[in-house]
Structure 1
Amino acid sequence: MYTKKNILEMIQKKLVVSCQALPEEPLHSPFIMGRMAYAAYLGGASGIRANSVADIKEIKTTVDLPIIGIIKQVYEGFDVFITPTMKEIDALCLEGVDMIAIDATDRPRPDGLTLTELFTQVKAKYKDQLFMADCSTYEEALKAVELGFDTIGTTLSGYTAATKEKSLPDFDLVEKLVNTISVPVIAEGGISTPEELKRIYDLGVYSAVVGSAITRPMDITLKFMKAVH
């Protein structure tokens, strides 16, 4: 197990690769995600973002890199689905994930708690765990800083009703956060080229996560097919 300081140092100014495939996707398999993480490691990734305890267990057997863990769990009638309740947080802590990312938007949560109520309980229960706030707006990020999240992610900008018109990557949000908060900012969401990643780092961001552009061949193929139709 790494210390909090080790984990943050290992991903600073480096690349975290998101290795995820949902049940309806062709690569959905802990084994495949383990190989995907190994390929990312060989390519130079310094961290992995992964979904589900099964995938995380497998990835741990293939790479010795910090893992940002989530559990995507849909609760009927609610839009919040990235590690939405204490149940998912408990499962990730039990697995020993290095950092846990939580939806930190201001949307209604399936447990009926506010983010403040949930995270107050979480911090009391898991004092030594690193937590990342997946935010969609500047205001949500400020709230997450106030609550004591260890890192702030721009993960959900463009993916909520309030931000769906945003073009991604959200360079403006990244820049504003980097210039106004002291907590490490992790850029995530829509980074699809090396040039975009360089621009993100030029803004002074702490770290960045790239997913679909590296680990989703179906989406990448669709993107290329648009160019020939």
Structure 2
Amino acid sequence: MTVLDTIRGRLVVSCQADPGEPLDDPAHMVALARSALRGGAAAIRAQGLRDLRALRAALPGTPLIGLVKDGTCGVYITPTLAHAEAVAATGVEIVALDGTRRPRPDGLSLAETVARLRARHPDVLVMADLAEAADGYAAVAAGVDLVGTTLSGYTGGAVPQDPDLALIGALAEALPVPVVAEGRINTPEQAAAALRHGAHAVVVGTAITRPAVVTSRFAAALVTSPEMS
């Protein structure tokens, strides 16, 4: 069974913490991942070479989608070939990178990045994180193995509240590669809706593995409740 078969119709949990957060530690990421797997996740998405190495050592049989973040805006998800090669060297099955049509920091095209990465790591799969449908067509032409809706709503303008089900459906209908739903999926119902729209798998992060963010939502709801006025 291939890694794509393993995650088909299943949940992938994103285990990530921003620098300075209480959970920003490889041991915590491993614990989060183990909890997610116990709850039924089929794979883990994570970022940062330190955490990826720790996860690979602790979870040798678990499919990992790996990436690194360099910055917080523009092309920052595995933005260069060097980043992608470093991620692949940690032993992940899938390298996730920015798959938008924006210029990449190292001047390479997405197709050049994919080809050079495969030349050194022929067994790794490449996942393109997209913002819009046109990105998907270009990413497939560049030779990626799967795409995700990770960057929908995050490349300019106000960030929507709900997952981009329309983009998931459009990509699933038009592209010959698996489409992974990711981004603002905050409830089990939204995850199930993503599958109904054609997603191959569903990635959930914040709603499961970011307790500070989840707590803040509950706290804010209580502060703004009519009973508090």
What TM-score do the two structures reach when normalised by structure 2?
Answer: 0.91
- The partner residue of 1:220 within 207, 214, 222 is 214
Residue 196 of structure 1: aligned partner: 190
Structure 1 residue identity aligned to 2:63: P
Residue 121 of structure 2: aligned partner: 126
3-state SS, counterpart of residue 222 of structure 2: coil
Per-residue CA deviations over 1:126-159 (Å, capped at 9, x if unaligned) read: 3322000000010001110111110010000011
Identity of aligned pairs, percent? 41
Structure 2 CA distance for aligned equivalents of residues 32 and 51 of structure 1: 13
- The partner residue of 1:69 within 45, 66, 70 is 66
Residue 47 of structure 2: aligned partner: 51
3-state SS, counterpart of residue 227 of structure 1: helix
Structure 1 residue identity aligned to 2:155: T
In the alignment, is the contact (CA less than 8 A) between 1:37 and 1:62 conserved in 2?
no
In the alignment, is the contact (CA less than 8 A) between 2:17 and 2:24 conserved in 1?
yes
Structure 2 CA distance for aligned equivalents of residues 82 and 169 of structure 1: 19
- The partner residue of 1:81 within 70, 76, 90 is 76
Structure 2 CA distance for aligned equivalents of residues 165 and 23 of structure 1: 22
Which segments of 5 or more consecutive residues in structure 2 lack a partner in the other structure? 224-229
- The partner residue of 2:165 within 155, 166, 171 is 171
Pick closer, same or farther for the CA change 1:60–1:165 going to 2, 3 Å. closer
Residue 10 of structure 2: aligned partner: 14
Q: Which moved more, 1:37-46 or 1:119-128?
A: 119-128
Structure 2 CA distance for aligned equivalents of residues 217 and 165 of structure 1: 21
Per-residue CA deviations over 1:57-114 (Å, capped at 9, x if unaligned) read: 2223433310000011229xx6111111121112122211110001011222221223
3-state SS, counterpart of residue 89 of structure 2: helix
In the alignment, is the contact (CA less than 8 A) between 2:111 and 2:143 conserved in 1?
no
Superposed, 1:5-44 pairs within 5 Å as 6-44=2-40
CA RMSD after TM alignment: 1.7
Structure 1 CA distance for aligned equivalents of residues 5 and 194 of structure 2: 18
Structure 2 CA distance for aligned equivalents of residues 116 and 182 of structure 1: 17
Equivalent pairs counted in the alignment come to 222
In the alignment, is the contact (CA less than 8 A) between 1:157 and 1:164 conserved in 2?
no
Query: How far has the Cα of 1:166 moved from its partner?
Result: 4.1
Q: Which moved more, 1:51-60 or 1:115-124?
A: 115-124
In the alignment, is the contact (CA less than 8 A) between 2:136 and 2:175 conserved in 1?
no
Structure 2 residue identity aligned to 1:213: A
Q: Which moved more, 1:215-224 or 1:177-186?
A: 177-186
Instruction: Say if 2:99 is the partner of 1:100.
Output: no
- The partner residue of 1:154 within 149, 169, 173 is 149
